[in-house]
Structure 1
Amino acid sequence: MQAVYSHSSGSRKPASVAPQGACDAHMHVYDHRFALHGSPDAMVDNATAADYRLLQHRIGTRRTVVVQPRIHGTDNSVTLDAIRALGSAHTRGVAVVRPDVSDAELERLHAGGIRGIRFTLYTPANATTDFSMVEPLAQRVHALGWHVQLHWSAGQIAAHADLLARLPCTIVFDHLARLPLPGALSHPAFDVVSRLRDNGRTWIKLSGAYLDSKTGAAGGYADTSAIAQAWVRQAPERVVWGSDWPHPTEPAPKPDDAVLFDLLGQWVPDEAVRHRVLVDNPALLYDFS
């Protein structure tokens, strides 16, 4: 009987085999048992930790980073629960908080496996946070050894270059830094992020190939390879890979996660570097023992 995976086209396993300890450093869990924030249209059904576990078996990853989705707002209970469900020894989380979060709550989140906070501001109208919150919260989480994860448009990255340069903590840019295609390498944000990477504290997530690709699934997302390879060349020790399951931005049919995992082979052709991206780098960034 052919397996069916929630929010993932196809059923075959990837052609490439994930190394032991490989990490999916960007996925989300949606769960109706927890409070919802904003429009219910943003809710994704059948995207619980149990649903993801099936996908995890398909692509062969073991470690996971659960990123708090917008629909659950600043109630990070859904992410903490997913960390426990998927196994706290090999699962970490990225939370969403606002400046009124207490020190005690931050400590509770840390004990539950949280290692960063996310600012999803590429569509400000739907955002739980705003740009004024980034610097004060970065100061606070830096004391915990956390990072700030940014899902910003390339234009926002360029416009807030001075703010980014002031942040004291590690910075992680989502989804290839969302540089527009074609012409990603000539966009001003490419230079902004490249300068930040010189400081040794700035990382890139190799994820979300479909978000800015013009060739799309039919073209194997081939137009993303140049920017992904550029980030890897700059700092192979500061890139991680993520599936972005359950692909909340994408209509049906959803992307094929085997194709997305195999795409990493084109982005990172060298096997030793690919092992670093999947195993060693996330172990360092997310505090896996």
Structure 2
Amino acid sequence: MNANPHANAPRDTPLRACDAHIHIYSRSFATRADAAGFVEQADVPAYRDVQARIGTQRVVIVTPRIYGTDNAVTLDAIRQLGIANARGVAVVRPDVTDAELAKLHEGGIRGIRFTLYTPANAVVGFDMVEPLAWRVAELGWHVQLHWTAAQIVEHQALLARLPLTIVFDHCARLPLPDGATHAAFTTVRRLVDAGRAWVKLSGPYLDSIDGLDARYIDVAPTARAWIAAIPDRLVWGSDWPHATETHKPADPMLLDLLGEWADDETTRERILTDNAARLYGFDN
């Protein structure tokens, strides 16, 4: 008998399924001098083992905050995993050159991330979002926002001005007990309805109160609300290697949660395959 009660196998994973949010950590690349939070055994070989367990074939790698604006670890991971099945989301500042952006694009980067939900260790700011958005829009990229729900509401005028696709991290960080009744749900829904935005179904532990032992059951209504409202504008991500968590969930269990949130296999497959292919430019 498996000693880990949370390591149950996922439901059948469709061909070309994408894990749209992971991080790679490697000692081969320098981290910020003031950064903490390096995750051991979270390199490409370790992630290949995760893929084998959950059955995904495509992946989107997001540069972890400990590398600041050095995206070399992400570019290297895309190269190792193969650009046909891997994409990346980088972190840059306004001083990035056009040549650097072109190199990132060639390496598989398709978006830039603004992690601003907490000022701790942030390497970008709200003042950088709009000027950088105009620059990367020319490459067909998106901006990915890890903001609190309150920040989404506060900056909705800024969001409305952005000239490109917006991807909201981790279910748009709707806090409990509000969940989908929070004003940020309406803000994001308005952007989605205008063809401007997507949401990642990822990181259920970030806003769960019930926690791992309860399989993050309190987040299920929020996830189901997103699935009911915008099924064509959702992607799923494991958030491996779960750097925020002391007690890390099993990735097969996280994928299985998607099957519990989505009542039918057609919707689940759309989230894992077709939606991800459209957002990240994978060939079907």
2:60 maps to 1:65: yes
Show the counterpart of 1:146.
Answer: 141
Show the counterpart of 1:261.
Answer: 255
User: What SS is found at the alignment partner of 1:134?
Assistant: helix
Structure 2 contact 112–144 (Cα < 8 Å) conserved: yes
2:188 maps to 1:204: no
2:224 maps to 1:229: yes
Show the counterpart of 1:193.
Answer: 188
CA shift digits 1:21-77 (9 cap, x unpaired): 000000000111112115342211111111111011001100000000000111111
CA shift digits 1:171-214 (9 cap, x unpaired): 00000000101111222212211211121120000000111011
User: What SS is found at the alignment partner of 1:118?
Assistant: strand
- Tell me how far apart the structure 2 counterparts of residues 285 and 56 of structure 1 sit (CA, whole Å): 20
- Tell me how far apart the structure 2 counterparts of residues 168 and 229 of structure 1 sit (CA, whole Å): 29
User: What SS is found at the alignment partner of 1:65?
Assistant: strand
- Tell me how far apart the structure 2 counterparts of residues 232 and 83 of structure 1 sit (CA, whole Å): 29
Show the counterpart of 1:282.
Answer: 276
The residue type paired with residue 286 of structure 1 is Y
Q: TM-score, normalised by structure 1?
A: 0.94
- Tell me how far apart the structure 2 counterparts of residues 147 and 15 of structure 1 sit (CA, whole Å): 30
- Given candidates 158, 161, 177, the residue that maps to 1:163 is 158
Show the counterpart of 1:119.
Answer: 114
Assess, with a 3 A threshold, how the Cα gap between structure 1 residues 104 and 10 changes in structure 2: closer, same or farther: farther
- Tell me how far apart the structure 2 counterparts of residues 142 and 259 of structure 1 sit (CA, whole Å): 36
Q: TM-score, normalised by structure 2?
A: 0.96
- The alpha carbon displacement at 1:126 in A equals 1.2
- The alpha carbon displacement at 1:15 in A equals 3.5
Higher mean alpha-carbon deviation, 183-192 vs 118-127, is at 183-192
User: What SS is found at the alignment partner of 2:120?
Assistant: helix
The residue type paired with residue 267 of structure 1 is W
- Tell me how far apart the structure 1 counterparts of residues 16 and 236 of structure 2 sit (CA, whole Å): 13
- Given candidates 134, 137, 151, the residue that maps to 2:132 is 137
Assess, with a 3 A threshold, how the Cα gap between structure 1 residues 63 and 22 changes in structure 2: closer, same or farther: same
- Tell me how far apart the structure 2 counterparts of residues 229 and 38 of structure 1 sit (CA, whole Å): 41
Assess, with a 3 A threshold, how the Cα gap between structure 1 residues 158 and 226 changes in structure 2: closer, same or farther: same
